[in-house]
Amino acid sequence: MTILSDILNVKNIFIVENNNISKKQILENIAQVIADNAGINFKSVLTSLLNREKIGTTVIGHGVALPHGRVDGLQSPQLVILKLAKPIFFDPNNEESADIIIGLCVPSDATDEHLQILSAVAKKLTDVNLRNEIRKADSAESIFKSLIE
């Protein structure tokens, strides 16, 4: 099973100071980072994320959203983390906002691995102390250390 330390890279962790960022911009940022890292088409990554969002909310509670998708041409799982300065409503039908965004894309044929990574991330983020550490963090490095410990 893939563990977070295997797929998380500090260069894929961002502290977003823009108070007016939208859900669309967040998904575009995640897609761009993954496309650049993997050398694949930005639109295919973004389409995968948007299609999953159409199915239902990816807000998992406690201010955390986990947008995710499976992408053709992707060779390995990719995680992107955004810590927002201000929570946003990630889903207009869900009254819970999110300020910790964990973007995940996996190869299109990695169904089991996809579910395992989603489960591992969701389980890890049930820890209130971890969420508080992420919210207080002032660097990508400190968020990285909190997540892999």
Residue 16 domain-assigned? Answer: yes
Asked if pLDDT for residue 146 goes beyond 70, the answer is yes
The per-residue pLDDT for range 55-85, each reduced to its tens digit, is: 988 999 999 999 999 999 999 999 999 999 9
Does the pLDDT value for residue 121 go beyond 60?
yes
Name the pTM for this structure: 0.93
Do 68 and 96 form a contact (C-beta atoms < 8 A)? no
Residue 19 lies in a domain: yes
Q: Please tell me the total number of residues recorded for the chain in this structure.
A: 149
Q: pLDDT: is 4 or 2 the higher one? A: 4
Q: Is residue 81 part of a domain?
A: yes
Residue 83, beta-bridge partner list: 15, 100
Domain CATH number, residue 122: 3.40.930.10
Q: Rounded CA gap, 64 and 123, in Å? A: 12
Domain assignment of residue 44, given as a range:
10-148
- What does the pLDDT average to over 127-137? 97
Is the pLDDT score of 133 beyond 50?
A: yes
Let me know if residue 103 belongs to a domain. yes
Query: Does 75 fall in a domain?
Result: yes
Give CA–CA dist 56/62, Å, rounded.
17
The reported pLDDT for the residue numbered 1 is 44
Query: What residues are annotated to the active site?
Result: 68
> Is 124 domain-assigned?
yes
Let me know if residue 1 belongs to a domain.
no
Q: Residue 116 pLDDT more than 60?
A: yes
- Phi then psi for residue 44, to 5 deg, are -70, -35
CA atoms within 13 A on the CB side of 146: 22
Whether the per-residue pLDDT at 3 is higher than 90: the answer is no
Number of domains the chain is built from: 1
Q: Which residue from 104, 141, 108, 140 is spatially nearest to 122, judged by alpha carbons?
A: 104
pLDDT in tens, 92-106: 776 789 999 999 999
Q: What pLDDT was estimated at residue 6?
A: 86
H or E segment to which residue 68 belongs = strand 68-71
Which residue(s) pair with 97 in the sheet?
89
- pLDDT tens for 11-54 read 999 999 988 899 999 999 999 999 999 999 999 999 999 999 99
